Amino acid sequence: MNGAVGLAMGILLAVAASTLSAEPHQPAPEKQINVNHVLAKARTLEAISIRVGIGPDGCIRSSNSMFLCEWGLTKRQAGWRALADAIATAERIALLCELPSDGSWRANGSCSARPKHSNRAMFRPKTDSGKKRVKSRYPRKEYEVLAQSWLDEARTLVELSRLIGAIPGACMPIPAAAQICTWHTNNKTYGHGTVAMSMDAKFGNKVLFACTLPTDGSSRAPNSCHSSPES
Helix (H) or strand (E) holding 94, with range, is strand 93-100
DSSP-derived secondary structure for 22-75: S--SSPPHHHHHHHHHHTTT--SHHHHHHHHTS--SEEEE-SSSEEEEEEEE-T
Between vectors from CA 95 to CA 90 and to CA 96, what angle results, nearest 5°?
A: 155
To 10 degrees, what angle do helices 140-153 and 3-19 make? 100
Q: Rounded to an integer, what distance in angstroms lies between the CA atom of residue 229 and that of residue 199? A: 9
Rg, Å, the chain Cα set: 18
DSSP 8-state secondary structure symbol assigned to residue 15? H
Specify the pTM.
Answer: 0.84
Short-list 198, 207, 209, 186, CA closest to 143: 198
**Is residue 200 left, alpha or beta, with left meaning phi > 0 and alpha meaning psi from -120 to 50?**
left
> What was the pLDDT predicted at 133?
53
DSSP helix, strand, coil percent of the chain (3-state; round to 5): 35, 25, 45
Q: Provide the residue-wise pLDDT of the chain in tens; the chain has 231 residues.
A: 444 444 344 433 444 444 444 433 455 678 999 999 999 999 999 999 999 999 999 999 999 999 999 999 999 999 999 999 999 999 999 999 999 999 999 999 999 999 999 998 888 765 555 555 555 345 678 889 889 999 999 999 999 999 999 999 999 999 999 999 999 999 999 999 999 999 988 888 999 999 999 999 999 999 999 999 997
